[in-house]
């Protein structure tokens, strides 16, 4: 099945695909890909356990660990379900992110900042373009992310990048390259990553709460890996050009150039109730707010 192996779908079967997407969101388990086909460890394989496509990433006092997709992708949708470290997770970060390689890399991040028992996680998102990030937002969640699995997704096309939690958009990064010259990730394929690591110098309550290693090992569980994106392999075999070309895939559909009315309402709700930090509002940090914040 094409969908399971990360290829996009030609627009001639788009209607079928849109119906399939709805079906798929309801029954994502049934459509989940085989982890081993799509991912491999990139850091500390001995801290990673794959139990029939339920993948446990462990952090202890010797190491964190990480997984990476075997391929890179340019545009499409990547999603995973995560159940975060339970109990005392202060100082830890669990991440689900996309990144290209090299110094001028592009990157899209979900970073889950742990907390002491009973205090809420925060999710930090960021967008790097051509090596430059500094676009953090932080949100609280409307559920306990340690009690059960929830889905986290990137939808990425030429017009926008949408960060979704359980299908609800929490952030949109819009392509304003032509309008105001802010660079937009559209030239480099990105790998898809999951990781856990110790970040107690900054993650929890500004770095004041350190990781309590007596509570190790810290385990985040990942499952239901879904990649429906354009595989970006090499210039030589034409896949790169195919990914860059517009109009071939379901994510090029005009309806996905921006949020639907329903999604805009959802985003508004999330921003009103759960946005706790936005770089676009941080006048103490920037002498001049970044250009994308002004329009
Ligand atoms: C996943 O794929 C690997 C290699 O392709 C295979 O060995 C394994 O049995 C598969 N696992 C499941 C659960 O389908
Ligand atoms: C790491 O944790 C193990 C098991 O809890 C413990 O035996 C060991 O002393 C710890 N090592 C360090 C360097 O703290
Ligand atoms: C990316 O940044 C490098 C400098 O790090 C610059 O030379 C290059 O022109 C930039 N590329 C784009 C597409 O902005
Ligand atoms: C941790 O809990 C404290 C106290 O409720 C809260 O101020 C903080 O935002 C929470 N999250 C992080 C990542 O520090």
Average pLDDT over the chain reads 90
CA distances from 149 to 29, 145, 152, 160, 229 (A): 12, 7, 10, 26, 23
Which residue is closest in CA terms to ligand 3's atom 4? 104
Over the stretch 150-166, which tens digit does the pLDDT of each residue have? 999 999 999 999 999 99
Domains plus CATH for the chain? 8-293 (2.60.120.200)
Residue nearest to atom 7 of ligand 3 (CA): 104
User: Quick check: 198 pLDDT over 50?
Assistant: yes
Mean predicted confidence (pLDDT) in 77-96: 98
Predicted confidence band of residue 242 (pLDDT cuts 50, 70, 90)? confident
- The ligand minimizing its distance to the Cα of 59 is 2
- Of 78-82, 191-195, 197-201, 230-234, the least confident: 230-234
Q: How far apart are CA 13 and CA 250, in angstroms?
A: 9
CA separation, residue 2 to residues 170, 249, 254 (Å): 28, 13, 23
Q: Is 245 a catalytic residue?
A: no
Distance CA 47, CA 43 (A): 9
Closest ligand 4 atom, CA of 121? 11
Q: Which of 111, 177, 178, 179 is catalytic?
A: 111
- pTM, 2 dp: 0.88
Quick one: pLDDT at residue 65? 98
235 is catalytic: no
């Amino acid at each position: 099945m094409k969908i399971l192996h990360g290829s996009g779908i030609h627009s001639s079967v788009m209607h079928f695909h849109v119906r399939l997407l709805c079906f798929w969101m309801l029954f994502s388990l049934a459509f989940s890909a085989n982890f081993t086909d799509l991912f491999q460890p990139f850091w500390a394989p001995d801290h990673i356990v794959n139990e029939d496509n339920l993948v446990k990433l462990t952090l202890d006092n010797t190491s964190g660990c990480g997984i990476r997709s075997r391929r890179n992708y340019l545009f499409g949708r990547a999603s995973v379900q995560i159940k975060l470290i339970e109990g005392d997770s202060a100082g830890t970060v669990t991440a689900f992110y996309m990144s290209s390689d090299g110094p001028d890399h592009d990157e899209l991040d979900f970073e889950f900042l742990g907390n002491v028992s009973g205090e809420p996680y925060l999710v930090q998102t960021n967008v790097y373009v051509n090596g430059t990030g500094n676009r953090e937002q932080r949100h609280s969640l409307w559920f306990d992310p340690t009690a059960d699995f929830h889905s986290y997704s990137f939808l990425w096309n030429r017009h926008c990048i949408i960060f979704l939690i359980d299908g609800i958009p929490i952030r949109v990064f819009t392509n304003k390259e032509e309008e105001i010259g802010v660079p937009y990730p559209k030239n480099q394929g990105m790998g898809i990553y999951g990781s856990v690591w110790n970040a107690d110098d900054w993650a929890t309550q500004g770095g004041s709460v350190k990781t309590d290693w007596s509570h190790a090992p810290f385990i985040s569980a990942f499952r239901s890996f879904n990649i429906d994106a354009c595989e970006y392999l090499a210039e030589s075999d034409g896949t790169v050009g195919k990914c860059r070309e517009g109009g071939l895939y379901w994510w090029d559909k005009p309806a996905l150039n921006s949020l639907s009315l329903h999604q805009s309402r959802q985003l508004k709700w999330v921003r009103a109730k759960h946005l706790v930090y936005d770089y676009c509002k941080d006048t103490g940090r920037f002498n001049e707010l970044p250009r994308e914040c002004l329009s």
